[in-house]
Amino acid sequence: MLENVVEDYLVKRVEAAGGIAEKTIALGTRGYFDRTCVLPGGRVIFVEVKKPRRSHTTKHQSTRHAAYRALGAEVAVVKNLADVDRLIDRDAAAGVQNAPDLKSSAALPRNKK
Please say whether the beta carbons of 10 and 47 come within 8 A: yes
pLDDT category of residue 108 using cuts at 50, 70 and 90: very low
- For 42, the 3-state DSSP assignment is coil
- Domain holding 77, by residue range, is 3-90
pLDDT at 2: 86
- Residue 53 DSSP label: S
Total domains present in the chain: 1
Residue 27: left if φ>0, alpha if ψ -120 to 50, beta else—which one?
Answer: beta
Whether residue 34 is contained in a domain is answered as yes
Q: In what order do the strands lie in the sheet containing 35-39?
A: 20-23, 35-39, 43-49, 74-78
Whether residue 109 is contained in a domain is answered as no
Q: Mean pLDDT, to the nearest integer, of 27-33?
A: 90
pTM of the model: 0.78
CA angle, corner 51, sides to 49 and 31, nearest 5? Answer: 45
pLDDT, averaged across the chain:
83
Q: Which amino acid is at 30?
A: R
pLDDT category of residue 90 using cuts at 50, 70 and 90: confident
Tell me, what CATH number does 39's domain have? 3.40.1350.10
Whether residue 100 is contained in a domain is answered as no
